[in-house]
Amino acid sequence: MRRYKIAVIRGDGIGPEIISEGEKVLEAVSEFEHFELKWIEYPHGAEHYLKTGELIGEDTLKELERCDAIYFGSIGDPRVETGVLEQGILLAMRFYFDQYVNLRPVKLLEGVGTPLAGKGPEDIDFSVVRENTEDFYVGIGGRVKGKGKGKKREELELVRKLYHIKFGLDIETDADELAYQIGVVTREGCERVMKFAFELAKEKGKKKVTSVDKANVLTQGYGFWREVFSEVAREYPDIDTEFNFVDAICMWLVKNPEWYQVVVAPNMFGDIITDLGAMIQGGLGLAPGANINPDGVSMFEPIHGSAPKYKGKGVSNPIATIWAGAMLLDAVGEKIASERVLNAIESVLKEGKVRTYDLGGNSKTSEVGDAIVSEVKALL
Ligand code: IPM
Ligand code: MN
């Protein structure tokens, strides 16, 4: 019997209720495909932080390292200052496990409406490969004067020098109160995520990879990104390539989503365009994401947040989370089970009887989970 150890972090807000539905579906499919899932619960999130002061510690991370995958709900809570949980838990895991790919499928499933007039499932079907460990997410930043006083001396030293070179002024005496944030892209960081994008295109029989940047303004960082992309592209002569500026792709994704097959983007831009992607595929309730380290521990989550307003109401759409669960199965090697879950999601949506409020229905979260379980069984 194939066995997988899955760490579960339900997190905050609607996290627990949507993860429960994901577990339900994965359990059901595991029975039919004859493998076993062992769920290991972790309490991390706002509640745990407020009680214990722990975000996610080294010990926990080391434990998680022994799992086959991490299934993650959502974090964010109005009682905790914005950014604390995001950085201390979610980003901490992405960095610790070096999950350098954030794979986000943008696929309009049949039976789901898109706000794009005249577009259907045949027009909206691409993957965004978001770089997940670099760029403006490296966490180098600080403030001078005001709240920034006395913080991060070493970084301040660096910025003092840069400020002096650029403006010929002293940052602490001449500058107004200011904040800075530095983005870093490395050759290795670019190469590995770009190769992943090309390999994905090959595997899925796609013909084109689009690279996103803003090399016309942020000429250093994204100029370098573009350079590396051109080099990597040479290793894949059968796949067409193109560059899109990030502002332009926001426009084209709305007007001509059918142009896109695989899109590779730096972290920050990838974050932004995948929210756009989520909307054109029917909303955040339908958008999954996989934080992947192909040689390590990967983490699967819906891309939406914790929606504290809906916490405990049992009305949120669990499909993004269930779809993320399907991606988890694919990643651990259970391809057939993964497809079965995706097919079950598709048939429930196509039938259209059981839907949560975001899709114009009034079904409960658990009813959607149940309907998908029934389909998993029916599709045997
Ligand atoms: C996402 C989220 C996160 C990100 C936040 C919560 C840190 O927006 O997964 O897209 O910016 O990556
Ligand atoms: Mn985001």
Q: Are residues 169 and 196 in the same domain?
A: no
**Helix, strand or coil, per DSSP, at residue 12:** coil
Substitution candidate for ligand 1 out of 86, 137, 138 with most atoms within 8 A of CB: 86
CA of 94, closest atom in ligand 1 = 12
313: Cβ contacts below 8 Å, ≥ 6 apart: none
> What is the edge-to-edge ordering of all strands in the sheet holding 240-245?
35-42, 2-11, 69-74, 299-302, 288-292, 101-107, 125-131, 262-265, 208-213, 240-245
Mutation choice for ligand 1 from 271, 276, 291, CB with most ligand atoms inside 8 A: 271
- The number of distinct structural domains making up the chain is 3
Is the shortest distance between the CB of 303 and ligand 1 below 6 Å? yes
Atom of ligand 1 nearest to the CA of 90: 7
Residue 369 — φ and ψ, nearest 5°?
A: -60, -45
Give the residues across from 178 on adjacent strands. 144
Atom of ligand 1 nearest to the CA of 132: 12
- CA atoms within 13 A of residue 313's CA, in its CB half-sphere: 14
Atom 11, ligand 1: residue with shortest CA distance? 271
The reply to whether 341 and 236 lie within a common domain is no
Same domain, 177 and 189: no
Q: Over its length of 380 residues, how does the chain's per-residue pLDDT go in tens digits? A: 999 999 999 999 999 999 999 999 999 999 999 999 999 999 999 999 999 999 999 999 999 999 999 999 999 999 999 999 999 999 999 999 999 999 999 999 999 999 999 999 999 999 999 999 999 999 888 777 776 655 566 677 777 888 888 888 888 787 778 888 889 999 999 999 999 999 999 999 999 999 999 999 999 999 999 999 999 999 999 999 999 999 999 999 999 999 999 999 999 999 999 999 999 999 999 999 999 999 999 999 999 999 999 999 999 999 999 999 999 999 999 999 999 999 999 999 999 999 999 999 999 999 999 999 999 999 76
Measured in residues, the chain has a length of 380
Please state whether beta strands 135-144 and 288-292 pair in parallel, antiparallel, or not at all (unpaired).
Answer: unpaired
* Residues measured by CB to lie within 5 Å of ligand 2, the ion: 271
Range of the domain at 24: 1-107+285-380
Name the residue type at position 106.
Answer: V
Could you list the beta-strand ranges (E) of 108-192.
125-131, 135-144, 178-184
Q: Are residues 371 and 312 in the same domain?
A: yes
Bridge partners of 181? 141
- Report which DSSP code applies to 90: I
CB 267 within 8 A of CB 135: yes
Residues 253 and 339 placed together within one structural domain of the fold: no
Whether residues 225 and 244 share a domain: the answer is yes
For the entire predicted model, the pTM comes to 0.95
Q: How far, in Å, CA of 322 to CA of 56, rounded? A: 24
Pocket test for ligand 1, best of 74, 75, 90 (most atoms within 8 A of CB): 90
